[in-house]
Amino acid sequence: MIPIMAREPFMNTLHTWLLLIGLLTAPLVQADPARDFLVDASWLEAHIEDPKTLVLEVRYHPHRYFTLGHIEGAMQVQRFLDLGDNQGSPIMRFPARAAFEATLRRLGVNDDSLLVLYDDARTALASRLYFLLALYGYDMRRVKLLDGGTGDWSAFHELSSTETQRPPGRVTLKDADRRLYVEWTEVYSEVVARRNPQVVLIDARPHEMYTGEILRHAVQGGHIPGAINIVSLDGTDAQTQKWRSAQELASLYGANPKDRTIFVYCHDGFRMSLAWMQLKSLGYEDVRLYNGGWSHWGNELTLPTVLGKDAYDVDYAL
């Protein structure tokens, strides 16, 4: 037993050693190669002056780029206009390669740009931009996601309300990688008609939209027959806007074997893109997004839907 007079220096020494151990092991915990696309404000602070660094903002309300401000030097990406098919139906189908390439060039993107993406919506909006860059063959080793977004940066840095001007870029994209997405026909065939056991369909929307309790931006409520509900935003912290740990994400998605093909959809394409990033970070290799999502399926009156919390209703129980 430690004498009472000796306890205080002992406890101070113990506290110091525990603090040192924490500092020494913290980088080891953070240095997960599967999540090396996630960076924090201190990383951005160290790289923002690099001439190849280009910061891109995707806000939920685009006008806040001007009214609330943005990271100094950041270019504004308008979440619907720049990240969807403006002439398509629905408009949040993936933009054509030429259109997306023109958008990136307008923003100043070159083939060797180091892109840092951020938003104010728990990375769901920036995830859509990240996915489109992967879809069209950009070098994803040169794309980072600011974990915590505007909140993480503005805690110690002033935001700017002055619009950033940059010379046009010369990025060249590739044809869309057909392995990264599916159309409604594949969802219908593999999941609804064939019930292929090798395919898992995930609905990444809020639970109330999955069940049909809330009907928003679609003629029909509910979900695609066979879809399971995993809310991708549950993989982030609502207060800090940051990603949850790899262990927490594994708990969220872990019921789905990694050897399955995963189809994912949401409404406009943002939450499903976040799910795609989360699943890829966990080691799922074959993850594909439904081009159009519920904004397509839920507005097609002839396509079947299910109401309630179960993947199938009585019509599909047999």
pLDDT higher than 70, residue 15: no
Query: Is the CATH number of domain 33-154 3.40.250.10?
Result: yes
Q: Given this model, what pLDDT does residue 268 score?
A: 94
pLDDT of 22 = 43
Domain coordinates in residue numbering, the chain: 33-154, 178-316
User: pLDDT value at position 26?
Assistant: 41
Query: To the nearest whole number, what is the mean pLDDT of the chain?
Result: 92
> Cα 251 to chain center, whole Å?
18
Instruction: Kindly report the CATH number that applies to the domain delimited by 178-316.
Output: 3.40.250.10
Give tens-digit pLDDT for 209-260: 999 999 988 999 999 999 999 999 999 999 999 999 999 999 999 999 999 9
Q: What is the 3-state secondary structure (H, E, C) of the chain?
A: CCCHHHHHHHHHHHHHHHHHHHHHHHHHHHCCHHHCCEECHHHHHHHCCCCCEEEEEECCCCCHHHHCCECCCCEECCCCCCCCCCCCCCCCCCCCHHHHHHHHHHHCCCCCCEEEEEECCCCHHHHHHHHHHHHCCCCHHHEEEECCHHHHHHCCCCCECCCCCCCCCCCCCCCCCHHHEECHHHHHHHHHHCCCCCEEEEECCCHHHHHCCCCCCCCCCCECCCCEECCHHHHECCCCCCECCHHHHHHHHCCCCCCCEEEEECCCCCHHHHHHHHHHHCCCCCEEEECCHHHHHCCCCCCCCECCCCCCCHHHCC
Task: Tell me the per-residue pLDDT of 108-153, one tens digit each, with 9 for 90 and over.
Answer: 999 999 999 999 999 999 999 999 999 999 999 999 999 999 999 9
- Residue 216 Cα to chain centre, angstroms: 21
Q: How confident is the model at residue 16 (pLDDT cuts 50, 70, 90)?
A: very low
Is it the case that residue 19 has pLDDT exceeding 80?
no
Provide the percentage of residues in the chain whose pLDDT is more than 90: 87
pLDDT confidence band for 318 (50 / 70 / 90): confident
Domains 33-154 and 178-316 share a fold: yes
**23-27, 30-34, 48-52, 82-86: least confident range:** 23-27
What pLDDT score does 18 carry?
Answer: 38
Nearest to 278 by CA among 234, 215, 314, 223: 234
pLDDT band at 317 (very low <50, low <70, confident <90, very high): confident
pLDDT digits over 68-112, tens only? 999 999 999 999 999 999 999 999 999 999 999 999 999 999 999
Separation CA 315–CA 304 (nearest Å) = 10
pLDDT the model gives residue 31: 58
Nearest to 265 by CA among 245, 292, 301, 247: 292
Question: What confidence tens digit (pLDDT) does each residue in 143-185 have?
Answer: 999 999 999 999 999 999 999 999 999 999 999 999 999 999 9
pTM, two decimals, is: 0.90
